[in-house]
Structure 1
């Protein structure tokens, strides 16, 4: 059986977040774009810049759009191409993927092909797992496909609400695949979840809203949606929150 030393991963959507995460003591980062949509594939330039500044391993999410995890042939082809391109860089630690069938199962054909395309990189199945109809069956499917770890909130909105399912998922995984707990974790609740579920790893984002530096703001034009105030705020990784949450998690056991 593989060994899974306890790790803490921080979800970030830019290289500034990656730097904040590593400065605050994270073991690994997940690099995404658009966390408002649950995380999408970051730009190629962002991946290259992450390689330049990273002092900890980082994984890149490969998710071509928001919404569900039932992809068209064209979307899936793009995912394969992205995984292969990231693999060919030679120094990215892993990719994060997830494909389902229409009836809520892990799409084993596509998942296995993505694992093969990843080569020596680690492969994480993201919270597509939480949208499956049977988490016990889904664990077995991911093991068959050779996936390294699964990210899950225990099929609930938060890890606290899903901690019983998380614990059962860890039991079912039986050290054949790492279970990484997530779902609104922070310094106040991460110890509770770690003690209750005993996951191999834990994952959270620690974002804070900061105002834009723009002094001129056009009140008549928005770049999407109807919340014009949101146009002039940015979400940054809160280094202090990362540090406090990591400390609470590591002290839990």
Structure 2
């Protein structure tokens, strides 16, 4: 069975490691500790120049909720168009209304502007009021996939809903489980849900190569860098084939 592994990366170095480890697609982020924010255009351009696999930047101007002002939406649209100009394969984005329903007007606007890029609706889906209504609305809007943890903090706690969404979606849209996936549980999630695409962060850390470290800042972790281990990505993929 063919599977697709998407890895969320937070900078050029972690992206390079994920690519070397065998990622099939990259969700390009900054500030992944905040749930992922829009990376800089320089970051996107460099990754697009250096790596051949699909690159999907997240378009999210701030942390917090997914209810955006008109001004925030304008800048998100600008970022979508820039990603298109840079040759990205897709974008990852999401909008809700204040009543917890999908903002259909805005997601339809993004899908039209992004074409021929794909559009993944991110885990704003996990905060929506009715996931089955949202599913149909996102299919109608033309999104290619939904990233979801089954409306739970971790995907392993939302398996029943993920399976139901996959069954309801059929071949109309891809349901991609994400949040808390690792080599130890990805096979179980695949078997329990029937999912074919999976999203993982596989976050790790690396000590700085700085020779001089001011002790007061070293004590609070300022010399610890984000990392992804190539072998963790390999093991993530390998676990699906066992």
Matched, 1:12 2:9: yes
The farther-off stretch of 210-219 and 186-195 is 210-219
Query: What is aligned with 2:82?
Result: 85
> Where does 1:196-211 land on structure 2 (aligned, <5 Å)?
196-211=192-207
Any idea what the Cα deviations from partners look like across 1:129-168, whole Å, max 9, x if unmatched?
Answer: 0010111111011011101100001111111111111101
- Distance of 1:193 and 1:18 partners within structure 2: 24
SS at match of 1:103: coil
Structure 2 residue corresponding to 1:239, chosen from 222, 230, 234 = 230
Aligned to 2:157: 161
How far apart, CA to CA, are the structure 2 residues paired with 1:63 and 1:145?
19
| Candidates 27, 42, 56, aligned match of 1:45 | 42
TM-score (norm 1): 0.91
Say which SS state the counterpart of residue 226 (structure 2) adopts. strand
Quote the residue 1:230 is aligned against.
Answer: 221
- Are residues 98 and 5 of structure 1, via their aligned partners in 2, closer, same or farther at CA, if it must alter by over 3 Å? farther
Matched position secondary structure for 1:202: strand
From 10, 19, 22, give the equivalent of 1:22: 19
Q: Distance in 2 between matches of 1:5 and 1:139?
A: 24
Once the two structures are TM-superposed, the CA of residue 217 in structure 1 deviates from its matched residue by 1.7
User: What is the total number of aligned residue pairs between the two structures?
Assistant: 241
Unaligned ranges ≥5, structure 1: none
Q: Tell whether the 8 Å contact from 1:15 to 1:53 is kept in structure 2 after alignment.
A: no
Residue pair 1:7, 1:27 contacting (<8 A) in 2 also: yes
Check conservation: 1:22, 1:55, Cα contact below 8 A: no
In terms of mean alpha carbon deviation, does 17-26 or 188-197 score higher? Answer: 17-26
Residue equivalent to 1:61: 58
C-alpha distance in structure 2 between counterparts of 1:32 and 1:73, whole Å? 23
Post-superposition CA distance 1:100-154 (Å, at most 9, x none): 0001111000000011110100100000000101111110110111011000011
The answer to whether the 8 A contact 2:10-2:32 is kept is yes
3-state SS of 1:66 partner? coil
TM-score (normalised: structure 2) = 0.95
Give 1:228 deviation, angstroms.
5.7
Counterpart of 1:248?
A: 239
Q: Quote how far apart the aligned CAs of 1:6 are.
A: 2.7
The separation in 1 between residues aligned to 2:16 and 2:206, in whole angstroms, is 17
